[in-house]
Amino acid sequence: MIDLKFLRENPDLVRENIKKKFQDHKLSLVDEVIELDAQARAAQQEADELRAGRNRLSKEIGALMGQGKKEEANAVKEKVSENAARLAELEEKERTLSEKITKIMMTIPNIIDPSVPIGKDDSCNVEIEKYGDPAVPDFEIPYHTQIMERFDGIDLDAAGKVAGNGFYYLMGDIARLHSAVISYARDFMIGRGFTYVIPPFMIRANVVTGVMSFDEMEAMMYKIEGEDLYLIGTSEHSMIGRFIDTINDEEKLPYTFTSYSPCFRKEKGAHGIEERGVYRIHQFEKQEMVVVCKPEESMEWYDKLWQNTVDLFRSLDIPVRTLECCSGDLADLKVKSCDVEAWSPRQQKYFEVGSCSNLGDAQARRLKIRVKGKDKSKYFAHTLNNTVVAPPRMLIAFLENNLNADGSVNIPEALRAYMGGIEKLVPKH
């Protein structure tokens, strides 16, 4: 959510940003906010004048009563009563206008960074750099569920009966590999100075609306019936929510966390939810990075975060590339974002395995996450998040890139300590 004062003083810039996001249907919201803001400020000014007048009239009543001028004092009291009724009307008007303004402001997209490429959708995203040599072996690579089935490692049919499409059972070596990757990612990030956290897996509605746009909320979040609780779609939600309505000492920043959680997503409107496999699913586990920092440091942290993911995947012998998200592919709260994509030898193309985002002060403004500077001034923090690793999707890339012609799967040296020293998985079929 952008600053109302910024919109008031820079309406053309806000309109231009909306156009860059290809959301022209929101252009009229700028004028609507300006008009409502003018009404709210006028109401506030009149209310302030009445409050000042109330204090003055109260003193006048006291003086008149002290002089024995009861009738004149009663006349002034009637004036005070009239003003009180008007003040109550104005306060209600202020409240109503403020709610309307806030609701609209939460739908106006954040100002994107000048470096973001302009494009309508993800087809306009721009490749930044490749890491590792993408290879295609001289033997056929099966679909990832077929690889898993050779190890008796997955049961989609039973999961479908129990929970429906988009769920899975992982078993045996594949389940162990899944847990090993999560544990390795945890320790990898701890080794880079991040504090490990296991957060709440449910959050209240005010936190949900603080960390994401309304469109994202509708498409992603599962509501707990009868309670003010939602299942998290990623641990970023509860990690940022931890700082709601806080004032943080500037000297303690940045806060750098790596958090584990299960993630639950509707995937509403997503294509391919019924397709075989574990690429797009309703439930998965993830290791996340979250940073709360000073505004001038957020771009530096943005580059550090996506580089961490690249380094982790390369340590597991998986080629990756980074992809700059264009303006139309950015969620409304984001200032800048890039995807990390892993190489799929089977498909001979890259696919998304993580996303890094700088949200500027958008989340902090919604959740009132402030920083107190050395000069006692207060300002909003910047927040960032990035995927460390999110199996089982990551397992697709791992299995394909470490598969041998005989069906066995190599375990990279970095992961062996988490797999009981095993150097290779041998299929049962």
Each residue's pLDDT tens digit, 201-246 = 999 999 999 999 878 888 889 999 999 999 999 999 999 999 999 9
Above 80 in pLDDT, residue 17? yes
> Tokens standing for 236?
């970023």
CA-wise closest residue to 343 among 139, 135, 125: 135
Position 274 scores a pLDDT of 43
Pairing of the two strands 222-223 and 230-231:
antiparallel
pLDDT bin (cut points 50, 70, 90) of residue 50 is confident
CA distance 389 to 181: 8
Measured between its terminal Cα atoms, the distance across the chain in Å is: 54
**With contact defined as beta carbons under 8 Å apart, do 223 and 345 qualify?**
no
With residue 341 as reference, give the H or E element that holds it.
strand 336-344
Above 70 in pLDDT, residue 127? yes
Q: Pick the range with the lowest mean pLDDT from 18-22, 114-118, 175-179, 275-279.
A: 275-279
Strand partners, 126: 324
Order of strands, sheet of 195-197, starting from the edge strand that comes earlier in the sequence: 126-131, 320-324, 336-344, 349-358, 382-389, 283-293, 255-264, 195-197
Above 90 in pLDDT, residue 248? yes
With residue 187 as reference, give the H or E element that holds it.
helix 172-190
**With contact defined as beta carbons under 8 Å apart, do 411 and 173 qualify?**
no
Q: Pick the range with the lowest mean pLDDT from 115-119, 280-284, 313-317.
A: 280-284
For residues 55-81, average pLDDT = 64
Each residue's pLDDT tens digit, 163-190 = 998 899 999 999 999 999 999 999 999 9
CA-wise closest residue to 318 among 402, 256, 416: 402
With residue 52 as reference, give the H or E element that holds it.
helix 27-66
CA distance 266 to 362: 24
Each residue's pLDDT tens digit, 148-163 = 999 999 999 999 999 9
Instruction: Choose between 36 and 64: higher pLDDT.
Output: 36
DSSP string, 201-240: SEE-HHHHHHHS-HHHHHHHPEE-TTSS-EE-SSHHHHHH
Q: Which residues contact 186 (CB under 8 A, 6 or more apart)?
A: 196, 258, 260, 287
Above 70 in pLDDT, residue 63? no
For residues 46-54, average pLDDT = 79
Instruction: Report the percentage of the chain scoring pLDDT > 70.
Output: 91
Q: Pick the range with the lowest mean pLDDT from 43-47, 149-153, 181-185, 276-280.
A: 276-280
Phi and psi angles of residue 201, each rounded to the nearest 5 degrees, phi first: -100, 5
DSSP string, 284-333: EEEEEEEEEE-GGGHHHHHHHHHHHHHHHHHHTT--EEEEEPPGGGS-TT
Domains defined along the chain, listed by start: 4-105 (1.10.287.40), 122-425 (3.30.930.10)
Position 277 scores a pLDDT of 84
Which one-letter amino acid corresponds to residue 392?
A: P
CA distance 159 to 138: 34
For residues 267-289, average pLDDT = 76
Instruction: Choose between 80 and 112: higher pLDDT.
Output: 112
For residues 410-415, average pLDDT = 97
Above 60 in pLDDT, residue 108? yes
